[in-house]
A and B are shown apart, each in its own frame.
Chain A
Amino acid sequence: MSQAGEYQIVTEKQRRLPDEETIASIRARYPVEAEHDAVYSRKMRRRHGPGYQGVTLDLLVEGSKALIESEVGGAVSIENARWLSGGASKLQVLFELVWRGENGAGERRDTMVLRMEPAASVTESSRNREFEVLRAVEGIIPAPKPYWVDADAKYLPYPAMIYDFVTGAAKPSYDSGKVSGLGQNFGPELRTKLAPDFVRMLAALHTIDVSSLDGLEHFERPEVGSNASVIRQVNAYRRVWEEDRVEEEPLLEVVYRWLVQNAPPLDHVSIVHGDYRSGNFLFDEDAGRITAWLDWEGATLGDRHQDLTYAGMPSFSHFAEDDSTLLASGMMSEPDLYAAYEKASGLPVDPARLAYYQIFNRYLLCVLTLAASARASRIGGTHQDVLVNYVVGVGYVGLADLHEAFLEEVR
């Protein structure tokens, strides 16, 4: 039987068409949260099926209608369905729902979004968790209101959820050329307006009292004073690396062992967005305010320093007009971000934990680009393989950045 942390060579054939023994061996070597385990195991078994098959709008409308009707217990109609662009990992359809509302009071019309996984994804994730965390942040952080989830693909071709449509732009009207908001430059005027929202909303998210929250059934509850949940998270990415990579990168094995050995205990449990950066929020350009946070699929219960350092990753940053100040998510310098966050949240920013999560997030980014993205495009698993493949290129910049940051940390 394989042991936790044990290294074994997995062949390309085993990754491409994994048998149950291979799946069980990887599960044993990299223990993770139960929901992650379920999602990753499903991903591996799905590799025996076809790659992504193009789906029609009609099929998705039919599945959405069946899901909604089973949940509300009455007939509804869906009109004006059309594809919604944006994002590297999910298919999205925008539509008008004619129904009687949640309390059945009277006919109404609401604009909704169907968000569905393809056969393989840049980030293989749980629709249950995404649904639950969106419920948890309602009224605290602007985000789409979740209505229904089809976590086991009972009604739709792949796991999906439906939430309401939120308005706003993902990119400024004058600079729309960045893929997925990577390195988005908002310009000095707009960023001055958006930055306070960026900090205030992060502080609000991290100070939600998690202990009093119900409805997070698919999240394991971490304990303050323990690093067990941090190690489970590291293992989750290590498991993705094991299951998806095209080739080994010895540097990543060195970093993985370091992340396990140096995992800091939690001093406070926060809801962590997991992808808090430019490109993942919508904004009102005229008013200069953030209107919604998207892409909650990587959310976890954990350490606030994960989000704080993620926002300042080089791939999501750019140089200011002085050509020397690196702006985290196009907002402000990292020191300014940390200072503003401490003030807004009342939570301390710990340099040692910052240092740890700087490495953690760089490791995460390498895994998602060089393994998950590479595998998803290689097996023809998505609706936009050309975009997912392009993202792999980001991984090489990320790998060099990880190497540099890790050398600084261990020397």
Chain B
Amino acid sequence: MNLDFDVQLQVALRALTDVVAPALGEGAEKHVVEQLHLAVATISFVKTRLPEARRYYRMELRHFIDLAEAAARMTGEDAALDAAVRDGEAALRDAEADIGNYIEITRRLREEVAALASRTEGEDRAALDRLVLDTSGELLAQYRQWALPFGLEPKPEELPAPAW
């Protein structure tokens, strides 16, 4: 089977850029041209990131497991959060886990951390908020690095290297 993803995306891109775009010509409607350019940008993003996706989503899951564990240490036991952490660790150990598993558990952890911060009060809540603020910066920079192929960064050279 030689229908590898990279070639499929490459041929689709060439068709759009080398054949469809020139055929539209000068008189083409602006929104049609814009959608074509954006479709090319979107497929280019997928082509660039697809080979790295598994590593990226593992990195993201690791971040939220660490955040959840730190949150639990601050506030005491939380059954839902603990269960999500256990599932996350198991998914990272499981050689057969796929990207969908990582995404699903990461989303649970995101919700549980936010829910925990909202349930707590006083000093615990302040500490949790501080934890979220202190640990977000590095991950947010990685989100931007991940979205780089869309060409939206004003100064891409200032972003940290990919951590996945």
Q: Which residues of A contact B (CB under 8 A)?
A: 6-9, 83, 85-86, 179, 183, 247-251, 253-254, 257, 314, 318-319, 384, 386-387, 389-390, 393-394, 396-397, 399-400, 403-404, 406-407, 410
Contacts and interface: CB of A to CB of B under 8 A. Distances in A.
A384 B35 CA distance: 7
A247 B110 contact: yes
B114 interface: yes
Contacts of A410: 133
B111 interface: yes
Contact of B144 (A319, A387, A396): A396
Contacts of A394: 152
A386 B42 contact: yes
B48 interface: no
B29 interface: yes
B150 interface: yes
Contacts of A386: 35, 38-39, 42
B4 to A, nearest CB: 24
B133 A387 contact: no
A293 to B, nearest CB: 21
Contacts of B31: 83, 85-86, 384
Given A390-B38, A396-B143, A253 B150 contact: no
Contacts of A393: 147, 150, 152
A251 B140 CA distance: 10
Contact of A85 (B29, B67, B117, B140): B29
A83 B29 contact: yes
B100 interface: no
Contact of B154 (A248, A318, A403, A407): A318
Contacts of A250: 67, 110, 113-114, 117, 132, 136
B76 interface: no
14 contacts: A7-B118, A85-B34, A247-B110, A249-B110, A250-B110, A250-B114, A250-B136, A251-B133, A253-B117, A254-B133, A393-B147, A394-B152, A397-B152, A397-B154
B110 A85 contact: no
B29 A400 contact: no
B107 A248 contact: yes
A10 to B, nearest CB: 9
Contacts of A179: 34, 38
Contact of A399 (B107, B113, B143): B143
Contacts of B136: 250-251, 403
Closest 3 CB pairs of A and B: A7-B118, A85-B31, A248-B110
A369 to B, nearest CB: 10
Interface in B10-44: 29-31, 34-35, 38-39, 41-42
Contacts, number: 97
Given A396-B140, A399-B143, A7 B115 contact: yes
Interface in B131-164: 132-133, 136-137, 140-141, 143-144, 146-147, 150, 152-154
Interface string B96-139: 00000000001100111111011100000000010011001100
**Main SS of the interface on chain A?**
helix
A236 B72 CA distance: 31
A179 B136 CA distance: 28
Given A399-B140, A403-B140, A407-B133, A253 B154 contact: no
B124 to A, nearest CB: 14
B41 A390 contact: yes
A308 B3 CA distance: 53
Contact of B129 (A85, A247, A254): A254
Nearest to A92: B31
A32 B163 CA distance: 41
A7 B120 CA distance: 11
Contact of B133 (A314, A384, A396, A406): A406
A390 B152 CA distance: 9
Contacts of B153: 397
Given A387-B35, A387-B38, 14 more contacts: A7-B118, A85-B30, A85-B31, A85-B34, A179-B38, A251-B136, A319-B154, A386-B39, A386-B42, A390-B41, A397-B144, A399-B140, A400-B143, A403-B140
Contacts of A249: 110
A257 B120 CA distance: 13
A85 B39 CA distance: 17
Contacts of B112: 9
A251 to B, nearest CB: 5
A247 B107 contact: yes
B144 A390 contact: no
A396 B147 contact: yes
A238 to B, nearest CB: 12
Q: Which of A6, A387, A407 is most buried by chain B, counting CB atoms within 10 A of its CB?
A: A387
Nearest to A254: B129
A314 B106 CA distance: 29
